[in-house]
């Protein structure tokens, strides 16, 4: 006899299958689709996204949820079943406010926008991408109208990536970070510059790729259930814990972007591989939020990957691979070089001290775009003006300015704040782990990441979407999301590097 739980499990499992299929198509678009395939991909994605949306918002799902909600009072509120019902009900409620035709239209527009963005970036010409971005902004403004009770229109977009977070919360966090980070950057600018020419000489791409694979393997990434490819902009995606895809990229003149990009995406990959199999094909699959997800990628890329203990282990191995480039470089020189602070154009290659300023710029522009304070055609000028104001540099072209990120072409407005939130959460987790395992740095110095990975798996990864992000951070660290640990980390680290 069919029960409400069985019916819900079957329906939501089919939704997950359709979403995974759409995600796989999007991975293909970014990694190996020929340029001429954009239209047919857009048609396929529109159909699959619409079917997934219709299935999630079907009356049968609502009826099963109504019946199950009546039994939740008898369940442990922290049980997987109780959390699954609550999360599915929340997702169902949001989804039923959005028409299926809108979901299909968005999939078509985004599918066409991404290859247009790649062409525009290659040609350093925003005008190629402008009509596509105008269509996306128009979609987002329509999407906001489906949720008229929101305190601020940007809250609606932010909630898709960081449930429960408000625009006012983000502004308050950025307002706390900005003066301290600007002060730190100014103080470091007065110190003698760090020489790091060895980071920009030619390196063999395949050798760097192989070294990155060695590092990611040491982190614990399971290659039997994952892979790494190349793309214009690094990203990670998953179709459940058993199939996790990552990409990185190689840029002449910035060769180590490949390594740090790979470490960053591996953080996402480890999170997805660590989600409990019990959550597969349910609404609990995936990460708690994009901010929590970014905490994992920023932790592995920076707190681990740019630390001195990490390079005490790995620098001799890197030096052996590249004797002509690094043979005369000492470990202290290399460590200082990879942590050099300088005002730079590209967010994904920015140092930790300036990184959040890149995020602030994007968040402010997104809010203005949604509110109508900036027209899309004026975006390059607004971007360049803020880059000059925040970092004292102006992009020489659109490719290194307004076109550098893939997110807007993918329709991901509301996403950028999660990078800064990820930095803050990562620092809190880092402090907490050291408090319970004082041997943390010695383990990293030996190239042993098993304790850290296991702790993150048990405290964060396994739960998937069971807990809302702020609730999860509170459970693990005992604190709400707080800028102070990150600011302490930055100030202590860079005082040491710059004496």
Q: Supply the residues annotated as catalytic.
A: 265
Nearest to 260 by CA among 312, 222, 184, 314: 314
Residue with tokens 């990864």: 461
CA dist 475 and 460 (Å) reads: 10
Q: How far is CA 276 from CA 2, 12, 280, 290, 463, in A?
A: 26, 17, 7, 18, 7
Instruction: Provide CB contacts within 8 A for 191, sequence distance 6+.
Output: 498, 499
What are the structure tokens assigned to 348, written together?
Answer: 């994904």
* Sheet order of strands, 236-238 included: 226-230, 244-248, 236-238
Q: Around Cβ 96, how many Cβ atoms within 10 Å?
A: 16
CA dist 434 and 344 (Å) reads: 32
Instruction: Provide CB contacts within 8 A for 148, sequence distance 6+.
Output: none
What are the structure tokens assigned to 220, written together?
Answer: 């614990």
């Amino acid at each position: 006899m069919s029960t409400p739980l069985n019916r819900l499990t079957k329906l939501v499992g089919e939704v997950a299958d359709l979403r995974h299929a759409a995600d796989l198509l999007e991975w293909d678009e970014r990694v190996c689709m020929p340029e001429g395939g954009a239209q047919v991909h857009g048609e396929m994605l529109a159909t699959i996204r619409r079917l997934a949306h219709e299935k999630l918002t079907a009356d049968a799902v609502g009826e099963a949820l109504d019946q199950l909600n009546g039994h939740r009072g008898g369940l442990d509120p922290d049980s997987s079943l109780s959390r699954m019902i609550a999360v599915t009900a929340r997702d169902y409620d949001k989804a039923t406010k959005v028409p299926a035709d809108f979901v299909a239209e968005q999939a078509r527009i985004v599918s066409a926008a991404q290859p247009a963005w790649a062409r525009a970036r290659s040609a350093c010409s925003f005008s190629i991408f402008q009509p596509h971005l105008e269509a996306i902004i128009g979609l987002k403004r329509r999407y906001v109208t489906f949720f008229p009770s929101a305190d601020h229109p940007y809250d609606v977009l932010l909630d898709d990536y960081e449930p429960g977070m408000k625009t006012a919360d983000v502004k308050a966090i950025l307002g706390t970070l900005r003066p301290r980070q600007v002060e730190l950057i100014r103080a470091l600018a007065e110190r003698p510059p760090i020489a790091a020419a060895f980071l920009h000489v030619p390196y063999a791409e395949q050798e760097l790729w192989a070294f990155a694979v060695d590092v990611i393997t040491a982190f614990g990434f399971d290659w039997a259930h994952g892979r790494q490819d190349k793309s214009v902009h690094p990203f990670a995606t998953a179709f459940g814990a058993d199939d996790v895809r990552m990409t990185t990229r190689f840029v002449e003149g910035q060769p180590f972007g490949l390594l740090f990009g790979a470490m960053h995406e591996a953080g996402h990959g480890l999170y997805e591989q660590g989600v409990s199999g019990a959550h597969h094909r349910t609404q609990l699959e995936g990460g708690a939020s994009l901010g929590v997800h970014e905490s994992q990628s920023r932790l592995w890329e920076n707190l681990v990957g740019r630390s001195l203990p990490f390079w005490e282990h790995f620098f001799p191995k890197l030096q052996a691979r590249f004797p002509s480039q690094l043979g005369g470089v000492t470990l202290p020189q290399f460590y200082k070089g990879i942590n050099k602070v300088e005002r730079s154009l590209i967010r994904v290659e920015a140092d930790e001290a300036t990184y959040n300023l890149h995020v602030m710029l994007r968040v402010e522009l997104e809010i203005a775009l949604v509110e109508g304070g900036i027209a899309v055609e004026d975006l390059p000028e607004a971007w360049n003006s803020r880059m000059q104001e925040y970092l004292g540099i102006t992009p020489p072209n659109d490719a290194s300015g307004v076109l550098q990120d893939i997110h807007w072409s993918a329709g991901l407005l509301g996403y950028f704040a999660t990078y800064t939130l990820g930095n803050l959460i990562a620092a809190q987790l880092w402090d907490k782990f050291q408090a319970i395992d004082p041997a943390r740095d010695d383990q990293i110095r030996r190239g042993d990441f098993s304790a850290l990975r296991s702790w993150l798996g048990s405290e964060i990864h396994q739960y998937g979407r069971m807990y809302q992000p702020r609730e999860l951070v509170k459970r693990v660290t005992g604190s709400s999301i707080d800028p102070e640990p990150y600011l302490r980390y930055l100030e202590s680290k860079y005082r040491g590097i710059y004496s």
